[in-house]
């Protein structure tokens, strides 16, 4: 992580940053608290004052507000009167103005001073602006995406992939070391079925031509035919048994199916711009489960119940965890226990994340509970990051019911639409194809990340690939416009100087400036809440403020503030690009 130069921190940035002991920063908030303290004396402590401060709804009301309600009892006066008295007595030294409005004392920061500091900081730090040290370089494995072999990646997998990817970027910015793990669904009785189906109806040539679809076809056909021919199930079980025993043919087919599937997954991951550090899926833990069972036995946690081996979790108010089935086979949670232990040993993580749909909440509660029973203190560092369901027509997506939305098709549709937009709006654009990819895919990713994780959403193609309003392309467009202005300036010989006078004080630029200043706090919040939507919403706000700004202010005008305006535009471009980057969305320079 970039070494941090604390002398360049801004007022607002310090709100969310750890503060070195020997230096005292006059944060803007501290200035407000100090000014209030000077008037109020011991009536309220500095901490209480800071706590009471709020951000007015509109910048027209100031940058900070102090509500006087809490003082009404102490002084036995109306809050309005108290606010007026405070405003009358307070030192205006560091502020543009301090005024009472009703029961509030509103503080307006010194705009020139503030813009100077904030713009200088962003220009100096560039993409590193907003970096912070929350993680002390600790490892954080992220279990994400995790599609099933021999099935296509659907919209359902998009969420886990894209949320996990964004969290990885956010964690890295906060000085954690994310490790992206694709916990592939590459084991289980379905592979017995698949092999049997392939042996009966499949051919090598067919699979090579279109692996996923053919494999899926075999699998679906198997399920149709085994209704009339239950003996197929016995064959499938036998094949899976062979697989478990390491039978050569079974292993060869399994490996082949797996690698073909992976190849087609990689095409999609490449489109999405997502890379993984590990593809260790369920099969990988196959030989690591005996140990878990042994440990559970040694700790006398295992009980027999209805012929199965379970860990009782009644004291956690949870259903028992099924470790071994009646036939001795292990289950989902057994594998996840093995995986958790493996990850702890391999990465010695400070946190371990699982980006998995909210319908699996109970499973992860059980997982943590069993680890706790095992006496593993790091059980508390395991976090399930749940997210809402994507439905279609209000119903859960289901391969069997025919409600599948193939991610690849959605991405292709989005890119095609972006291509058409470019032809219509900017036909002379260079590298159109690349921009179409970035915009189309960006729209899909952004749409998924802009709302709170837990919200369900009903799939609607027009909505997902929309380019107007609160969308990824809107943010990308704002960034492209900023870059365009900078290019024109550079062509005229006006470069953004790293050290200059960046004094701006008009209302439109002030809105942009306070958004820029809020970025580090947003990063922190997004990390703490594991919530990429914080960044997406932030990017929309900044883009909106900037669009308004340049619609009303001519940037390229030769006057004393030209340098300051260019610094503002450059800072906006930097922060917008970094915001999109944190979401896993590209920011083309032109579009």
Alpha-carbon distance of 52 to 115, in angstroms, equals 25
Count of CB atoms within 10 A of residue 203's CB? 10
Binding to RNA (CB under 7 A): which residues in 485-514?
485, 488
Nearer residue to RNA within complex by CB, 232 or 555: 555
The answer to whether residues 503 and 115 touch, using CB atoms and an 8 Å cutoff, is yes
Binding to RNA (CB under 7 A): which residues in 131-190?
148, 185, 188-189
Structure tokens belonging to residue 144: 């994400």
Nearer residue to RNA within complex by CB, 103 or 139: 103
Nearer residue to RNA within complex by CB, 177 or 526: 526
Task: State how far the alpha carbon of 64 is from the alpha carbons of 37, 55, 93, 113, 538, in Å.
Answer: 15, 5, 15, 16, 19
Nearer residue to RNA within complex by CB, 139 or 145: 145
Question: E strand or H helix at 104, and its extent?
Answer: strand 104-109
Binding to RNA (CB under 7 A): which residues in 368-407?
388-389, 391, 394-396
Nearer residue to RNA within complex by CB, 92 or 426: 426
Binding to RNA (CB under 7 A): which residues in 47-86?
50-51, 54-58, 61-62, 65, 67, 69-70
Indicate the pairing of strand 390-392 with strand 95-101.
unpaired
Work out which of 74, 329, 401, 492 binds RNA, going by CB under 7 A: 329
Min separation Cβ 89 and RNA, Å: 18
Going 478 to 479 to 485 to 488, the CA torsion angle's sign is: negative
Min separation Cβ 348 and RNA, Å: 26
Nearer residue to RNA within complex by CB, 463 or 506: 463
Nearer residue to RNA within complex by CB, 177 or 250: 250
Nearer residue to RNA within complex by CB, 167 or 418: 418
Cβ-defined contacts of 25-32 (< 8 Å, 24+)? 26/94, 28/63, 28/64, 28/109, 28/114, 29/53, 29/64, 31/94, 31/95, 32/64, 32/66, 32/107
Work out which of 29, 143, 282, 437 binds RNA, going by CB under 7 A: 282
Letters for 428-467 (x = contact with RNA by CB under 7 A, - = none) are -------x---x----------xxx-xxxxx----x--xx
Segment interacting with RNA, rule: CB under 7 A, options 90-98, 101-109, 171-179, 255-263: 101-109
Work out which of 90, 153, 369, 591 binds RNA, going by CB under 7 A: 591
| Count, residues near RNA per rule CB under 7 A | 94
Task: State how far the alpha carbon of 237 is from the alpha carbons of 41, 64, 242, 244, 256, in Å.
Answer: 79, 68, 9, 11, 19
Instruction: Give me the sheet containing 457-458, strands edge to edge.
Output: 395-396, 390-392, 457-458
Nearer residue to RNA within complex by CB, 4 or 544: 544
Side-chain half-sphere of 290: how many Cα atoms within 13 Å? 1
Nearer residue to RNA within complex by CB, 169 or 384: 384
Binding to RNA (CB under 7 A): which residues in 107-126?
none
SS3 call for 148: strand
Binding to RNA (CB under 7 A): which residues in 518-557?
525, 533, 537, 544, 547-548, 550-556
Nearer residue to RNA within complex by CB, 139 or 334: 334
Letters for 304-323 (x = contact with RNA by CB under 7 A, - = none) are -xxxx-x--------xx-x-
Residue with the two structure tokens 């016995």? 234
Any idea what the Cα angle at residue 436 is, between residues 435 and 440, rounded to 5°? 120
Q: DSSP E strands: which ranges in 248-328?
A: 302-305, 308-311, 321-324
Letters for 213-232 (x = contact with RNA by CB under 7 A, - = none) are --------------------
Q: Which residues pair with 321 in a beta bridge?
A: 311
Does position 425 interact with RNA (CB under 7 A)? The reply is yes
Min separation Cβ 381 and RNA, Å: 20
Q: Which residues pair with 475 in a beta bridge?
A: none
Work out which of 477, 510, 519, 530 binds RNA, going by CB under 7 A: 477
Does position 327 interact with RNA (CB under 7 A)? The reply is yes
Segment interacting with RNA, rule: CB under 7 A, options 167-175, 257-265, 286-294, 418-426: 418-426
* Exposure string over 279-311, b if 16+ CB within 10 A, otherwise e: bbbbbbbbeebeebbebbeeeebbeeeeebbbb
Side-chain half-sphere of 478: how many Cα atoms within 13 Å? 31
Min separation Cβ 110 and RNA, Å: 18
Segment interacting with RNA, rule: CB under 7 A, options 132-140, 149-157, 268-276, 329-337: 329-337
Alpha-carbon distance of 579 to 407, in angstroms, equals 24
Min separation Cβ 144 and RNA, Å: 14
* Terminal Cα-to-Cα distance of the chain (whole angstroms): 32
Segment interacting with RNA, rule: CB under 7 A, options 15-23, 119-127, 261-269, 328-336: 328-336
Instruction: Give me the sheet containing 95-101, strands edge to edge.
Output: 64-67, 104-109, 95-101
Binding to RNA (CB under 7 A): which residues in 563-582?
none
């Amino acid at each position: 992580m970039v070494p941090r130069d604390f002398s360049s921190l801004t007022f607002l940035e310090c709100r969310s940053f750890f503060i070195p002991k020997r230096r005292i920063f006059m944060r803007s908030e501290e200035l407000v608290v100090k000014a209030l303290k000077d008037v109020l004396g011991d009536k309220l402590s500095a901490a209480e004052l800071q706590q009471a401060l709020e951000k007015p709804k509109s910048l027209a009301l100031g940058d900070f507000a102090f509500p006087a309600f809490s003082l009404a009892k102490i002084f036995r006066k109306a809050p309005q009167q108290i606010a007026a008295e405070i405003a009358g007595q307070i030192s205006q030294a560091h502020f543009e103005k301090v005024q009472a409005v009703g029961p509030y004392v509103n503080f307006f920061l010194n705009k020139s001073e503030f813009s100077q500091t904030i713009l200088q900081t962003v220009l100096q730090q560039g993409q590193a602006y907003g970096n912070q040290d929350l993680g002390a370089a600790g490892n954080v494995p992220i279990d994400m995406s995790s599609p099933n072999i021999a099935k296509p990646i659907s919209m359902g997998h998009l969420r886990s992939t894209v949320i996990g990817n964004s969290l990885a970027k956010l964690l890295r910015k906060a000085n954690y070391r994310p490790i992206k793990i694709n916990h592939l669904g590459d084991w289980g009785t379905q592979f017995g079925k698949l092999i049997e189906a392939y042996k009966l109806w499949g051919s090598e040539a067919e699979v090579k031509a279109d692996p996923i679809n053919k494999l899926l076809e075999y699998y679906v056909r198997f399920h149709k035919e085994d209704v009339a021919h239950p003996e197929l199930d016995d064959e499938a079980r036998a094949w899976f048994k062979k697989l478990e025993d390491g039978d050569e043919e079974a292993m060869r087919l399994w490996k082949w199916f797996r690698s073909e599937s992976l190849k087609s997954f990689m095409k999609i991951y490449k489109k999405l711009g997502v890379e993984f550090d590990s593809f260790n899926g369920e099969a990988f833990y196959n030989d690591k489960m005996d140990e878990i069972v042994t440990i559970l036995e040694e700790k006398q946690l295992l009980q027999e119940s209805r012929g199965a081996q379970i860990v009782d979790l009644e004291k956690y108010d949870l259903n028992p965890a099924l470790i071994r089935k009646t036939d001795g086979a292990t289950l989902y949670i057994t594998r996840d226990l093995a995986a958790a232990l493996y990850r702890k040993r391999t990465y010695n993580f400070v946190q371990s994340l699982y980006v998995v749909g909210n319908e699996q909440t109970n499973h992860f509660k059980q997982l943590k509970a069993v680890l706790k029973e095992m006496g593993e203190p790091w059980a508390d560092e395991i976090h399930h990051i749940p997210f809402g369901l994507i439905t279609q027509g209000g119903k859960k997506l289901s391969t069997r019911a025919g409600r599948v939305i193939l991610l690849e098709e959605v991405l292709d549709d989005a890119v095609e639409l972006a291509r058409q937009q470019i032809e219509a709006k900017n036909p002379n654009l260079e590298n159109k194809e690349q921009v179409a990819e970035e915009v189309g895919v960006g729209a899909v990713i952004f749409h998924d990340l802009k709302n709170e994780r837990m919200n369900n959403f009903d799939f609607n193609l027009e909505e997902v690939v929309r380019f107007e309003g609160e969308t990824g392309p809107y943010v990308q467009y704002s960034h492209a416009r900023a870059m365009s202005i900078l290019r024109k300036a550079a062509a005229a010989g006006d470069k953004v100087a790293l050290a200059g006078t960046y004094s701006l004080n008009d209302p439109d630029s002030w809105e942009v400036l306070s958004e820029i200043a809020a970025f580090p706090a947003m990063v922190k919040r997004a990390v703490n809440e594991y919530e990429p939507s914080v960044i997406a919403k932030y990017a929309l706000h900044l883009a909106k403020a900037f669009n308004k700004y340049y619609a009303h202010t001519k940037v390229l005008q030769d006057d004393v503030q030209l340098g300051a305006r260019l610094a503002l535009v450059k800072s906006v471009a930097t922060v917008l690009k970094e915001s999109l980057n944190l979401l896993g969305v590209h920011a083309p320079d032109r579009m």
